[in-house]
A and B are shown apart, each in its own frame.
Chain A
Amino acid sequence: MNNAFNIPERALVLGANSDIARSTTLALASAGTTEFVLASRRPGDLRPLAHRLRAAGADLVETVEFDATELDTHHNFVSATWERHEHIDLTFVAFGELGLHSGAVHTAMTNYVGAVSILEEIRSRLQRQGTGTVAVVSSVAAERPRADNYVYASTKAGLDSYTRGLADVLAPTIHVMVVRPGFVRSKMTAGLDPAPFSVDPDDVAADIVAGLRRRSPIVWSPPIVRGVMSTLRHLPGPVHRKITQHTTSTPKSTITDAFR
């Protein structure tokens, strides 16, 4: 169960191999979370994280296979998870790809369709268990697309909007939180030049745990990007294009699959 500070006892992490997921699970373990269900396309890669979580005091760490794009597996995935665990206190959606080379449709399938599919399955479980928290990693890019990330930005805009709507559906019992990180220096962005106000996955994790404690509807990480995006969002198109050309760079060709 969640405690008075909304720290979950048991967390389900979808996309557990992402750097933000890794940092966040470790932050949760030190805040008192003792059970983790870690899900990833490559559960074998989760072994080091599972080991670190156990060392940090976790009683139970499960690693399971989950592919956001395999929509017809989602129902059984959720049934099996809730079968093994009577309730899940925190569902953390951390999967997603920048989609530099995987194609626009694949990115849309993963980041938006896949997330909506699994969250709709989870929604009915949460309504029945009558308690819980959902945290979904969106992006500041959801606020305004740029030429170099517009597919990614559009998927996050859709996911962001879906998540805020889900928050209204599940309020006041179940807390649903949108996480909007700025540029995170992580595997997903390896090879890109960091944008201004860039952060590390550990910074995002700290902001997420603080957001859980406050039951925040939206977490900006770092908090200052809220003001930055608010300004950018209202700029006229030509001005926005000019600014973003100066502050972001084109991806290097070494990136093939940013999402792990």
Chain B
Amino acid sequence: MRLTTPTETGLPHDLRGGQRTWPVTATTISGWGRTNPVRSAVHHPTDHAELEAAAGMGPTVARGSGRSYGDAAQNAGGGVIDTQAVNRIHHFDEQTGVITIDAGITVDTLLHATVPHGWFIAVTPGTSQVTVGGAIAADIHGKNHHHDGSFCDHVTAMTVRTGRGTEHLTPSGTPEEFWVTAGGMGLTGVILHATLQLRPVESPFITATTTRHPDLESLMAALDVADRAAGYSVAWLDGLATGRHLGRGLVITGDHSTRQQVEDSPRPATPGAANRSRSMPPVALPIVNPIIARGFNVAWYRLHRPSKQIVPYQSFFHPLDSVSNWNLLYGRGGFVQWQIVVPDEAALFISDALTELALTRAGSFLSVLKRFGPGNPSPLSFPMQGWTLAVDIPTRAPGLDGLLRSLDRRVAAVGGRVYLAKDSRLDPPLVDAMYPRLDEWRGTRDEMDPDGQFRSDLSRRLHLTHNKLPSGALR
């Protein structure tokens, strides 16, 4: 047992409510984009009881794998609860595909346990390293949003340590609390466990097709068609191409391979092959410069031939996981991922945005375009019917701040929004315009957290909560 006193952390986030039995360290942390590092008292609870107790020591926010790009899972001068050590599978019904797990488990660990039994997670993001708690808090989406909605549409229950105590939430029993927590960026409390409905699969493979399209118009048209034809679809585009090549890219679609398809496959794929992860030297070298990014984009586009093949699920869903710390490629200043969605009728905005972003000549590896289906009842959930675009850009790109601010205003004006899990720089007044149900969310959130026990740098920067903090918190 190790007791940690506030003097050890040097932070004011003290021992309210008695002594801790778990390690706490004053650590400098940042989001995946590595912008804006801050110092927080990071709690490392080792079991459920400790996790629950830590959640009562506000002001805190839960942090899973730290894959939010911005400041959603950091809390300068306050507490951050690292949930990763509490990551057990509690119950898995192999007949119905219903699984109850700790929120600290990653999608990767979950899939390793369920895929051999013929069950796949209903929604997976572009990295398998996110935790289930983070997936709920950001209500993440995947390549199948147009058919299956987002992550929380498949959560049947969750247990959350809110400001009122430990609460069991379900979409039918406690719809308000459930949907305010879903997509609620961790601000209603610490998610302890969740029950998910998995989807049956016959194999660990995906039958994937790649098609190439020379401009944005044909790319968007192809995505439109692909959405009807396939369960999974996404477009990777060359964010640096301009003029008649603007928006050229690849449309990648897929469906879970049937047992028959795998057996008939001429080249049987090996399921473990895509699983190896390489890591970069742990230094932030600004390797992504405009010339290299341009070369990479051109090569990516040219080298991908139209194809149809059977691939392991990892290489279809989580290609970036093959380099474990690719975020270091953007150098010391870090990078921002600007992800927006605009309604179908504002699809032309995508072309305007790509044009302006390409003009900055800012190095972006790959840009992603996808069509969303309708959103869900969560007031802060990002997905809505329309087109979503995600672009990674190093913060040192000249003029980037001003350009994104002006693009944000236009996104808000056409009824679109910025994804909070990716954000690190939005102008606060725009949040209310982009998320028109923000006040409704605030109302229920404040009821669930009457003493202001939960906050993050994101919630403070964007004024998501009413800044109702315990007044002694930062003295």
* Chain A contacts to B: CB under 8 angstroms: 1-7, 9, 31-32, 34, 82-83, 86-87, 127-131, 172-173, 213-215
What are 12 A-B contacts with C-beta separation under 8 Å? A1-B76, A1-B457, A1-B460, A3-B461, A5-B35, A5-B395, A32-B401, A82-B475, A127-B10, A131-B76, A131-B77, A173-B28
Contacts of B400 in A (CB 8 A): 5
Secondary structure dominating the interface of B = loop
Contacts of B424 in A (CB 8 A): 3-4
CB distance from A222 to the nearest CB of B (A): 18
Please judge, given known A-B contacts A5-B425, A86-B473, A173-B28, whether A131 and B457 are in contact too, CB under 8 Å.
yes
Contacts of B473 in A (CB 8 A): 86
B11, B334, B425: which has the most chain A beta carbons within 10 Å?
Answer: B425
Contacts of B336 in A (CB 8 A): 4
The 8 closest A-B pairs by CB, nearest first: A130-B39, A131-B76, A4-B424, A4-B35, A130-B77, A1-B461, A130-B76, A129-B77
Contact of A173 among B35, B38, B474, B475 (CB under 8 A): B38
Contacts of A215 in B (CB 8 A): 333
Tell me how many residues of B have a C-beta within 8 Å of chain A.
Answer: 37
Q: Is B356 an interface residue (CB 8 A)?
A: no
Contacts of A214 in B (CB 8 A): 333, 396
CB distance B474 to A6 under 8 Å?
Answer: no
Contact of A86 among B11, B395, B427, B474 (CB under 8 A): B474
A2, A34, A83, A213: which has the most chain B beta carbons within 10 Å?
Answer: A2
CB distance A130 to B475 under 8 Å?
Answer: no
6 extra interchain contacts, Cβ-Cβ under 8 A, other than A128-B10, A173-B39?
Answer: A1-B461, A3-B425, A4-B334, A34-B428, A214-B333, A214-B396
Contacts of A1 in B (CB 8 A): 36, 71, 76, 457, 460-461
Rounded to whole angstroms, the CA-CA distance of A260 and B38 in the bound complex is 35
Please judge, given known A-B contacts A3-B425, A213-B401, whether A82 and B37 are in contact too, CB under 8 Å.
no
Contact of A131 among B38, B333, B401, B475 (CB under 8 A): B38
Please judge, given known A-B contacts A87-B77, A129-B77, A173-B38, whether A4 and B469 are in contact too, CB under 8 Å.
no
Contacts of A3 in B (CB 8 A): 36, 424-426, 461
Q: Is B247 an interface residue (CB 8 A)?
A: no
Q: Is B70 an interface residue (CB 8 A)?
A: yes
Please judge, given known A-B contacts A86-B469, A86-B473, A215-B333, whether A31 and B401 are in contact too, CB under 8 Å.
yes
Rounded to whole angstroms, the CA-CA distance of A87 and B455 in the bound complex is 14
Rounded to whole angstroms, the CA-CA distance of A3 and B467 in the bound complex is 17
Q: Is B147 an interface residue (CB 8 A)?
A: no
Rounded to whole angstroms, the CA-CA distance of A129 and B78 in the bound complex is 8
